Structure 1
Amino acid sequence: MKYIFRSIPLLILIVFNIFAYSVSNEAKEKKLHILYYNSENQEGFWWRTTSEFAQAACQNLGMELNIVYVDRDAAFMVNDFKKKATNLNKPDAVIFQNLKSNAVNMLKIAEENKIPAFIFNAGLTEEQAKQYGKPREKFKYWIGQILPDDKKAGYDLAFQLFNEAKRLGLKDKNGNIHFLSIIGTKTDTASIERENGLKLASQQEKKIILDQITSANWDRREAEKSLNWLILRYPEAKVVWSANDLMGLGALDSLSKTKIIPGKDIIVGSMDWVPEALKQMQSGKLFTSLNGHFIETAWASVLVYDYLNKKDLV
């Protein structure tokens, strides 16, 4: 009997060590879980590519990536994150863009639930930034962001189109070149900044005349419908500046129903490197497409991985 009682502490110690070893191994085997909110759906080439780059980066780093496509529904994104953030298996970090100005609500949820948040592609609007500042200023768990220079992209696109139109002699009697401009959703930071770049180009180059700027919400069909009447309203327009390829393709769809020849009578340019757009560039109908920023999700994944492994971004 004495032997049994003396062995109990030893038995407890052995059981504890086995349990601790098991928990330790489980912790080592547990993968980091990253939540990525994709603002579009799987049909869109550019957004699908961002998912593929994020997935490749996470697999390479041994992380698990959960991709949620929100199909431009900013409210759904916020509500879905509320549910996932309060779940027992909440994500180790979240990556998203400022969709229709919803980033502040996303950051508040991340802050309340102590989930590191990383913004990519579209940051806070100017008004939001005035109130909430930069990462880690107002929100401790907003750990960082990676953003393209959309203003410069809009600016560069404007001058590429302007110079080509000038080369082709597409001027009015006063030497001006008239632009029609199709932007995305008005509340999206990317659209706002690209439009700002276009406006800056027109301020610097007085020969650029912005006949009209219209929103087509990043949508091909909307852009086609818009250009149908814009071409009739502004017959002197010789350039179509588009904030993305889908809207640029919509512009080409509209022009295909007229006698106006893209690449000869009018110049069309856009952004994103959508495969169909690249084919239209080869045919000469689309003059240019700017891109490269789809890789941001891979960079964001790497930076989040470093942060979660105690290698801070700053």
Structure 2
Amino acid sequence: MNALLRIFLATCLLLTWLPAQAASVVFLNPGYSTERFWSDYAAFMQDAADDLGMQLHVLYGARDTRTILANAHAVLQRKEKPDYLVFVNEQYVGPEILRLYADSGIKLLALHSTLTPEQRSRLGGPREKYPNWIGSLVTNDEEAGYLMAKALIELDPQGDMVAFSGIKQTPSASLREEGLKRALAEHPQVRLRQLLYGEWKEQRAYEQAKALLPRYPDLHLVWAANDEMTFGVMRAAREQGRKLHYTGLNTSERVLQARIDGRIEVLAGGHTILGGCAMVLLHDHARGLDFAERGGTEQQARLLRLFNQREAQNLLAYMRKPGEGLDFRRFSAQRDPQMKHYACAIDALLR
């Protein structure tokens, strides 16, 4: 193949990825801009936007419903409105956002946490009562809670357990709790002494564990729905000279190092890239490749999985030198229009 032909083919391939007008997306991020999980989450979304030739604007809600809704109102006041708005049903704000945007002409995607069954009974699903709510993308939170609990119980099949969940009004926390309860039902010999709501915060879990641990001298197992709460319990246990088995969930550098060191023996993660996967769905939708034809309007990406120490090491290396592991174009139906289901995955970062 001569040089001119190679240049011609490369140019043709590039042109297929350059939209006439880049699709624009606003993400109502429910977290803090300084909160590592949600800032990493947004960073992967920006990586995907760059790969796919899209525009992304992230508005942080500081885990406060008033701020999240104020951000939603502000978007509607813009002279140039986005093509898509991505929202999270954090603290159950989803229905209000659906009502607010009903006649806006902006297409909506629920991400990370979609409507609860009770909310759906009143409002329906995507493309029903609210036609501009085009879909949802969540991850396998229930399965993650189950896998963490199963692996934790294997470390001490007769041990007592305490559990730390997030915020009650967060669907992802509730689903992880359901997974925990499913595993406990399979192991009735394990006693769950108490389930507390640490609100995802290290300091909150530390204060709770400091008061809780002395009550249960035979306690050996600690299940937690994220990594920050795990570190809070670990600090309290260390101060009291207790040796416990821990789970954690997330992919911060801190928790990956703790998994490598063996201080946390059960670690789940992978869902940080979910927002990037959502950008793929919206990119395809804007190009006339409706994701509903490739898995339905309500999709689940099974991103959450357990990490062994080697995988944690590889992922930590990527986190410290990002930009070389994922090209989100590989997950798009534009690359394979005959694709039946999306297969967005973090596996490339673990090798």
Using structure 1 for the length normalisation, give the TM-score. Answer: 0.84
Counterpart code for 2:42: S
Structure 2 residues without counterparts, runs of 5 or longer: 1-18, 293-351
Asked if 1:284 corresponds to 2:262, the answer is yes
**Per-residue Cα deviation, 1:107-130 (whole angstroms, up to 9, x for no partner):** 222222121111111111221122
Post-superposition shift, 1:42?
Answer: 2.6
Seq. identity, %: 26
Q: 2:55 aligns with which of 56, 64, 79?
A: 64
Separation in structure 2 between the aligned mates of residue 45 and residue 165 of structure 1, nearest angstrom: 31
Post-superposition shift, 1:95?
Answer: 1.0
Structure 1 residues without counterparts, runs of 5 or longer: 1-27, 172-176
| 8 A Cα contact 1:41 1:70, kept in partner | yes
Asked if 1:147 corresponds to 2:155, the answer is no
Alignment-derived partner of residue 13 in structure 2: none
Q: Which runs of 4+ in 1 moved over 3 A?
A: 28-31
Root mean square deviation of aligned Cα: 1.5
Separation in structure 2 between the aligned mates of residue 62 and residue 208 of structure 1, nearest angstrom: 51
Post-superposition shift, 1:29?
Answer: 6.2
Q: 1:89 aligns with which of 57, 69, 80?
A: 80
Alignment-derived partner of residue 275 in structure 2: 297
Say which SS state the counterpart of residue 95 (structure 1) adopts.
strand
**Per-residue Cα deviation, 1:202-242 (whole angstroms, up to 9, x for no partner):** 12221121100000110000011111111012222111100
Separation in structure 2 between the aligned mates of residue 60 and residue 103 of structure 1, nearest angstrom: 29
Alignment-derived partner of residue 75 in structure 1: 66
Separation in structure 1 between the aligned mates of residue 156 and residue 251 of structure 2, nearest angstrom: 21
Say which SS state the counterpart of residue 147 (structure 1) adopts.
strand
Separation in structure 1 between the aligned mates of residue 33 and residue 72 of structure 2, nearest angstrom: 19
Separation in structure 2 between the aligned mates of residue 163 and residue 220 of structure 1, nearest angstrom: 26
Separation in structure 1 between the aligned mates of residue 93 and residue 273 of structure 2, nearest angstrom: 22
Post-superposition shift, 1:73?
Answer: 1.2
Separation in structure 1 between the aligned mates of residue 151 and residue 125 of structure 2, nearest angstrom: 32
Using structure 2 for the length normalisation, give the TM-score. Answer: 0.75
Number of residues paired by the alignment? 274
Alignment-derived partner of residue 224 in structure 2: 242
Alignment-derived partner of residue 333 in structure 2: none
Q: 2:46 aligns with which of 30, 52, 55?
A: 55
Q: 1:251 aligns with which of 230, 233, 245?
A: 233
**Per-residue Cα deviation, 1:42-79 (whole angstroms, up to 9, x for no partner):** 32222122111110111122211101111101221112
Bigger shift: residues 209-218 or 195-204: 195-204
| Bigger share in helix | 1
Post-superposition shift, 1:287?
Answer: 1.1
Bigger shift: residues 38-47 or 120-129: 38-47
Larger Rg: 1
